[in-house]
Amino acid sequence: MYEILVREDLAPVTKLFEVHAPAVASKARAGQFVIIRLHESGERIPLTIADYDRQRGTITLVFQEVGKTTLEMGTMQAGDHLASLTGPLGIPSEIENWGTVLCVGGGVGIAPIYPIARDLKAAGNTVLSVIGARNKDLLFWEDKMRAVSDELIVCTDDGSYGRQALVTIPIKELLEAERPIRHIWAIGPAIMMKFCALTTKPFGVPTIVSLNSIMVDGTGMCGACRVEVGGQTRFVCVDGPEFDGHQVDWDQLLARQRIYPEQEQLAVEKWKHECQCAPK
Ligand SMILES: Cc1cc2nc3c(=O)[nH]c(=O)nc-3n(C[C@H](O)[C@H](O)[C@H](O)COP(=O)(O)OP(=O)(O)OC[C@H]3O[C@@H](n4cnc5c(N)ncnc54)[C@H](O)[C@@H]3O)c2cc1C
Ligand code: FES
């Protein structure tokens, strides 16, 4: 059992848990994830390790409530326990001194981009960062991102905070200004990563994305997370989650994320019904 030591509400639908998991914290590296179950009959869901503290033996998870499991997770409090937490999984980010790098986080993708930006900064890079969300209420960790970035641009889709722009606009401007950007990481919803990759492709700057395909086992055996990258079948859980964004078959990924809408809707309804019927 893995105790939730801290719960923080970052935005109305975005929550942070600091979880006691010393073995995972001792090995965690930027770019990796864990698979958790809330309870014995819970489904397995992947979440990125957004931060870790080896001394305290904790990892930080940031999640957005989008369906049954994440909604249920949002009802948990400090002192509650996760039934299982497997990891660290996936191949860590390729952190080296590239020179100047650009880190882009959209929505809940701000959480996974943070440890990458932090480690790139520690490796001696000049870190330019762009973070964005639909509106001011959905933004978080501006202070943490500023602390690990040489320059930070903050955008909202509706202009309620920072610059009114999609993240692709400042990316294009930075590349057109011929800033010597050697490597780009872009993490967020699949549609955002697709357009980031399309924006950077004409400039020929390697663009790494972290794919969020549906997962089951997380060990390369079930095939649920398969994606096409460069015309080859790859498994996000063991070959990723980071891939060359210019090589990803985005339309296939987007279609595979939408395979189970009816079952997902039913799961939420059933869970809400059970909550109402549960003895208070
Ligand atoms: C390697 C990896 C790391 C991830 N890290 C994070 C993270 O740090 N924080 C976070 O909030 N989420 C993260 N995700 C996505 C997260 O796993 C899903 O949001 C979660 O599994 C949804 O479960 P659910 O039962 O709440 O919703 P479901 O009922 O399963 O889905 C509800 C809605 O969310 C969509 N959805 C389902 N799974 C995914 C997915 N994997 N990616 C995008 N949309 C999805 C569905 O299409 C559906 O529209 C990550 C996914 C992967 C593969
Ligand atoms: S989640 Fe089963 S192969 Fe990746």
Rounded to an integer, what distance in angstroms lies between the CA atom of residue 32 and that of residue 147?
21
**Which H helix or E strand runs over 190?**
helix 190-200
Distance 220 CA to ligand 2 centre (A): 4
More confident residue, 48 or 264: 48
Cis before 241 (ω within 30): yes
CB 248 within 8 A of CB 209: yes
The closest of 30, 150, 49 to 100, measured between CA atoms, is: 150
**Is the beta carbon of 193 within 6 A of some atom in ligand 1?**
no
Query: Per-residue pLDDT tens for 88-131?
Result: 999 999 999 999 999 999 999 999 999 999 999 999 999 999 99
Q: Which residue's CA is minimally distant from atom 6 of ligand 1?
A: 47
Which residue's CA is the closest to the ligand 2 atom numbered 3? 220
Ligand nearest to the CA of 138: 1
Atom of ligand 2 nearest to the CA of 216: 1
Per the DSSP assignment, residues forming a β-bridge with 52 are 59
| Residues whose CB is less than 8 angstroms from the CB of residue 88 and which lie 6 or more positions away in sequence, other chains included | 24, 27, 28, 29, 32, 33, 34, 49
pLDDT digits (tens, 9 = 90+) for 207-260: 999 999 999 999 999 999 999 999 999 999 999 999 999 999 999 999 998 888
Give the integer Cα–Cα distance in Å for 249 and 60: 30
Q: How much is the pLDDT for 280? A: 56
Judged against a pLDDT cut of 70, whether residue 181 lies above it is answered with: yes
Neighbours of 54 (CB within 10 A): 12
* Any ligand 2 atom below 6 A from CB of 235: yes
Higher pLDDT, 175 or 257: 175
Q: What is the mean pLDDT of residues 46-52?
A: 96
Q: Is 215 in the pocket of ligand 2 (CB under 6 A)?
A: yes
Residue 271: band (very low, low, confident or very high) from pLDDT cuts 50, 70, 90: confident
Q: Which of 38, 45, 268 to mutate to test the pocket of ligand 1 (most atoms within 8 A of CB)?
A: 45
The reported pLDDT for the residue numbered 56 is 96
Q: Which ligand is nearest to the CA of 218?
A: 2
Position 275 confidence tier, pLDDT thresholds 50, 70, 90: confident
CA 66 / ligand 1 centre spacing (Å): 7
pLDDT confidence of residue 260: 87
Tell which atom from ligand 1 comes closest to the C-alpha of 90: 1
Cβ–Cβ under 8 Å, residues 162 and 156: yes
- Pocket mutation for ligand 2, best pick of 229, 235, 259 (most atoms within 8 Å of C-beta): 235
Give nearest CA residue, ligand 2 atom 2.
Answer: 222
- Report CA(160)–ligand 2 centroid distance (Å): 39
Ligand 1 touching residue 62 (CB < 6 A): yes
pLDDT tens for residues 17-37? 999 999 999 999 999 999 999
277 or 253, which is more confident: 253
Reported as a pLDDT band with limits 50, 70 and 90, residue 261 is confident
Q: What is the mean pLDDT of residues 39-50?
A: 94
User: What are 147-156's contacts with CB under 8 Å, separation 24+?
Assistant: 148/114, 148/117, 148/118, 148/121, 149/103, 149/117, 149/121, 150/121, 150/126, 153/128, 153/129, 154/130, 155/130, 155/131, 156/132
Side chain identity, residue 237: C
